[in-house]
Amino acid sequence: MIVAVDGPTASGKGTIARALGAHFGLPVLDTGLLYRAVGYQTQLDHGDPDDADDALAACDFPDSLFDDPALRYESTGSLASRVSIHPAVRRALFQRQVDFANQPGGAVLDGRDIGTVIAPHADAKLFVTATPEERARRRHAEMLGRGVGVTYDAVLADIYARDARDTGRVDAPLRRAADALLLDNTALDRDAGIAAAIAFVEGKVGKRG
């Protein structure tokens, strides 16, 4: 069983994807982490994330980079959004994601183009979203909880900028697949969002786990 979970930044799709993986006993890939690694490696190489050649060179990042806590920084998320607009970068990471999706037994993948590009044949597809203001509120609270000093307005501006890049890029833009469930998380708490996602997948493929 393959489950595709797409949506914009800070929508809650990562939390939902992990919960689906645990519930159905499936491995989970946060595909955004691949782009975060490329963006961060570009920075480590003193390259320009807006330069396609610099970003492509960073696709050869070591697997050990996945253990670096810096990949979870908000600044790294912005770098990921910038390198992800380059078609060459997306091509370089494409097969890695496809192989994960098609492994025996299936998988859950969390990203922005899973249901449209990486696994259009997925058994269940969700598009998780929330208003930019609510996403900014949640991300701001999360960052303050980690001791990161940032204003709400700065977080909201970054979300608008990342949404514009993700939806406006020529190659594999963020969009809802025609057969994906739209799960608006704006007024849902964590447990309600997870419950709705599980119910949808069970309705599509039957109960497992």
Mean pLDDT computed over every residue of the chain: 93
- Position 41 in a domain: yes
CB atoms within 10 A of CB 170: 7
Burial label, 52 (beta-carbon count in 10 A; 0-12, 13-18, 19+): middle
Domain count, the chain: 1
More confident of the two residues 150 and 4: 4
> What is the spatial distance between Cα 184 and Cα 193, in angstroms, rounded to a whole number?
8
The upper half-sphere exposure of residue 133, i.e. CA atoms within 13 Å in the direction of its Cβ, equals 1
The enclosing domain of 124 has a CATH number of 3.40.50.300
Tens-place pLDDT, residues 61-97: 998 999 999 998 888 988 998 999 999 999 999 998 9
- Determine the structural domain holding residue 163 and report its residue range: 2-203
pLDDT of amino acid 19: 98
Q: What is the mean pLDDT of residues 99-123?
A: 96
pLDDT of amino acid 70: 93
DSSP for the chain, please give it: -EEEEE--TTSSHHHHHHHHHHHHT--EEEHHHHHHHHHHHHHHTT--TTSHHHHHHGGG--GGGGG-GGGGSHHHHHHHHHHTT-HHHHHHHHHHHHHHHTSTT-EEEEESSIIIII-TT-SEEEEEE--HHHHHHHHHHHHHHTT----HHHHHHHHHHHHHHHHH-SSS-----TT-EEEE-TT--HHHHHHHHHHHHHHHH----
- Position 25 in a domain: yes
pLDDT of amino acid 148: 83
- Position 78 in a domain: yes
- Position 209 in a domain: no
- Position 127 in a domain: yes
pLDDT of amino acid 207: 63
pLDDT of amino acid 179: 96
pLDDT of amino acid 169: 85
Among 47, 36, 11, residue whose Cα is nearest residue 159: 11
- Position 208 in a domain: no
